[in-house]
Structure 1
Amino acid sequence: METEVTQINLYKDGDAWCALIGDDIQSGTCGFGQTKSDALRALAISLNLNSTPAIIEPNTFRKD
């Protein structure tokens, strides 16, 4: 079984955090959120939506 390593760039973009796989937002896959965690969750959603950027809004996830 082969393992692939993918680099995720995590940076502040205006008022939001961006989690990006690829060279830039236009050609890569990304997610945005108010926190680093939200941006990473949005990136995971984007990967499942065939690279459509996702945005996690505050209070989207329940905290049980």
Structure 2
Amino acid sequence: MSLPAFGGKAFAMSEGEQKLSREERLAAKLRENLRRRKAQARAMGDDHTGQDALPKPAEDG
């Protein structure tokens, strides 16, 4: 019994994806990531905006 030289995902890309250049693939992934992050930020809402921020230093006056 012999195993194939290359495993699973090496040939899983569709024909349309194979024709895209590296720059086009990267640009598409960046756009997808940006949309996902914006959706996550909208889902969190404004009520969580300041919780992770550092506290402002007290002013000595």
Which is bigger in relative contact order (C-alpha 8 A, separation at least 6)? 1
Q: Which has the higher helix share?
A: 2
Q: Which has the higher strand share?
A: 1
Normalising to structure 2: TM-score of the pair? Answer: 0.27
Normalising to structure 1: TM-score of the pair? Answer: 0.26
